């Protein structure tokens, strides 16, 4: 799908993918098995929304997003190594902001490996990794640019900052927020 244009073949395959996904969720086929009191919901929108508006649509359903944290991931971005997700979530809930004003934690991707050096070379910015209790095995690095990668964020932050703007069908959070960060 590029710029909202989809071939008939792609649309047919996408509908088949949604059918398989819906069935896997209904039958709780791993990894679509909710934990404890959780649930997995498939929100099917009647028309193409684009990434930013699709996320916004989920947030507009108050009964759907009720947790203090949300995890947002792109359909084509997966964890390829073990990630300390449980530790991150427990730490962010227990210590909001982690004492450093943290609102959102992006996980590593190929574009953020060796990030400190890349940012220094490209933007002449000196960023420093921060150690946080309970996460001291994983140093946190401030991002100079919002990447469209899997991340955990405070729900209130998403509502009050990320999604508090008019969004167009073509909008992607990486472009909206990332470009604004670079300009600042």
Q: What is the pLDDT of residues 14-24, one digit of tens each?
A: 899 999 999 99
* Pair (8, 94) in one structural domain: no
State whether residue 99 is helix, strand or coil. Answer: helix
Distance between CA atoms of 4 and 15, rounded to whole angstroms? 16
pTM (predicted TM-score): 0.84
So what's the pLDDT on residue 56? 93
So what's the pLDDT on residue 184? 63
* Pair (85, 150) in one structural domain: yes
pLDDT digits (tens, 9 = 90+) for 22-66: 999 999 998 889 888 888 888 888 888 888 899 999 999 878 898
Cα dist from 176 to 23, 37, 104, 121, 156, whole Å: 34, 34, 16, 23, 19
Q: What is the mean pLDDT of the chain?
A: 87
Distance between CA atoms of 67 and 40, rounded to whole angstroms? 13
* Pair (25, 95) in one structural domain: no
Structural domain count of the chain: 2
């Amino acid at each position: 799908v590029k710029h909202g244009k989809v071939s008939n073949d792609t649309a047919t395959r996408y509908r088949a993918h949604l059918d398989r996904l819906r069935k896997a969720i209904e039958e709780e086929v791993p990894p679509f098995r909710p934990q404890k009191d959780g649930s997995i919901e498939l929100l099917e929108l009647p028309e193409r929304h684009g990434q930013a508006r699709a996320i916004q649509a989920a947030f507009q359903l108050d009964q759907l997003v009720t947790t203090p944290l949300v995890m947002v991931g792109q359909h084509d971005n997966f964890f390829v190594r073990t990630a300390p997700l449980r530790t991150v979530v427990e730490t962010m809930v227990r210590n909001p902001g982690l004492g450093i004003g943290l609102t959102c934690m992006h996980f590593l991707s190929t574009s953020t490996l060796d990030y400190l050096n890349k940012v220094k070379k490209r933007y002449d910015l000196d960023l420093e990794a921060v150690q946080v209790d309970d996460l001291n095995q994983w140093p946190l690095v401030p991002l100079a640019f919002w990447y469209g990668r899997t991340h955990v964020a405070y729900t209130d932050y998403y509502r009050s900052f990320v999604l508090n703007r008019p969004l167009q069908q073509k909008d992607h959070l990486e472009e909206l927020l990332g470009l604004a960060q670079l300009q600042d």
